Structure 1
Amino acid sequence: MEQESSDLDQLIRQRIRSLRLARGWTLDTLAGRCHISPSNLSRIETGRRRIALDQLVPIARALDTTIDQLVESGEDQDVVIRPQACDTPGYTTWLLSRERSLGGVTIAKMRITKQEPVPADTLPVHPGHEWFTVLTGTARLQLGERTILIQEGNAAEFSTMTPHAISAHDGPVEILTILDQNGERAHLRNPASH
């Protein structure tokens, strides 16, 4: 238990020093911003002084972060995401982000084998914005009456208020897509709407 506390203290000290250096600040600069003497701040960073909560509050504020971010354990979550394939007719999807962990967006890899265009009068619409890049193959993007072929290595970005669908052109296509909450609901929970 004492080792865990010591490891966390060391992690907090490293974060304080790293954030200070990333801003190009000297000890004097940060000390002035958080109203702690430069010598005390130096001892906090080097481990020669215990870190007290009443010192963390002004340090975190001065570094434009939160106490939670300074003290969160580096062990709390696995950094490796192990995506599971989710198959529906014509689509296989792998979620590559944790639940809306990046400011309300979901990142997914999709393998699309469906090659038939969607009839223009049945193209779905939903609030939001969508972005994708083609990893392999060629994607067919239907935007209203337009059909745009997106080649491997290229990307597309569009308002999802425009009737739209993504399908494969001349063989399977793999894309990496970023969806907001509305896009996730429309495309990943109801993939037939592609």
Structure 2
Amino acid sequence: MRPRHTVLPMTQSDGDLDSLVRKRIRALRLARGWSLEELAGRAGLSQSTLSRIENGQRRLALDSLVTLARALDTTLDQLVETAADDVVSSPVIDSARGQMRWPVKADPGMTVIRQRLTEPPPASPSRMRAHPGREWLVVLSGTALLLLGNRRFRIETHQAAEFPTMLPHAIGAEGGPCEVLGIFDRDARRSHQRPDGGGDKGRA
């Protein structure tokens, strides 16, 4: 008796989602440099079955998609998620702080800020800050100077930094203005919005 397969339920037009999932499977396979035979072996499927799945000659079954997602090191939700319509977004302008902010859709708690720094970081350790959260920094132009505890780091154009914000830290420009793109999680952003945060100037 042949096993029964649960067919993937479609939430938008069958053709659109069906085609998207098949293209995603093939693209993930090719990105890893795997042949049909290699992915089929990893997923416990026959090569002909996988070929028919990719080519649209076999209906998408939930059990097959679960094993394929696992073999491709992704999740079923990511494999079958619908395409986003809002690919392009505009920044939110904060005139008071002289900033542009981009919400990160992958995590509503994260914020992206582009900022032009003109002053060096504060020399006084008392003006360095420590707080919960995570921060990432990319220098778009110029050179930034990051003070982290007792250490100093020069971050050149196109270089990035990720640092533990529980260490006292501050950042500013070195040798002239610089532009930075900062990414803050919810806790870090909340800390920078407090009244004692200095409006993110001489950003810490």
> Is TM more than 0.5 here?
yes
Deviation at 1:72, TM superposition (A): 1.0
Deviations 1:123-163 (A, max 9, x none): 32213554434434565655568888767666665443343
Local SS of the residue matching 1:96: strand
Q: Does 1:107 align with 2:112?
A: yes
Cα RMSD after superposing both structures: 3.7
- Count of residue pairs brought into register by the alignment: 189
Distance 1:150 1:64 in 2: 34
CA contact (8 A) 2:121 2:147 kept: no
Q: Which residue of 1 aligns with 2:188?
A: 183
CA contact (8 A) 2:122 2:128 kept: no
Local SS of the residue matching 1:111: strand
CA contact (8 A) 1:135 1:174 kept: yes
Deviations 1:12-31 (A, max 9, x none): 11111122222232222222
Q: Which residue of 2 aligns with 1:29?
A: 38
Q: Which residue of 2 aligns with 1:94?
A: 100
Deviations 1:23-74 (A, max 9, x none): 2322222222223222222111111121122221122122221111111112
- 2:88 corresponds to which letter in structure 1? V
- 1:67 corresponds to which letter in structure 2? L
Distance 1:162 1:133 in 2: 19
CA contact (8 A) 2:120 2:171 kept: no
Q: Which residue of 1 aligns with 2:168?
A: 163
Query: Which stretch shows the higher mean deviation, 141-150 or 127-136?
Result: 141-150
- 2:101 corresponds to which letter in structure 1? L
Q: Does 1:40 align with 2:49?
A: yes
CA contact (8 A) 1:106 1:179 kept: yes
Local SS of the residue matching 2:112: strand
Q: Does 1:135 align with 2:140?
A: yes
Which of residues 85, 89, 108 is equivalent to 1:81?
A: 89
- 2:25 corresponds to which letter in structure 1? I
Percent of paired sites with the same residue? 49
Q: For the structure 1 residues 57 and 134, does the alpha-carbon distance in structure 2 shift closer, same or farther, using more than 3 Å as the test?
A: closer
CA contact (8 A) 1:130 1:158 kept: yes
Which of residues 41, 52, 67 is equivalent to 1:58?
A: 67
CA contact (8 A) 1:84 1:95 kept: yes
Distance 1:2 1:148 in 2: 50
Q: For the structure 1 residues 109 and 16, does the alpha-carbon distance in structure 2 shift closer, same or farther, using more than 3 Å as the test?
A: same
Distance 2:25 2:156 in 1: 45
Query: Which stretch shows the higher mean deviation, 8-17 or 105-114?
Result: 105-114
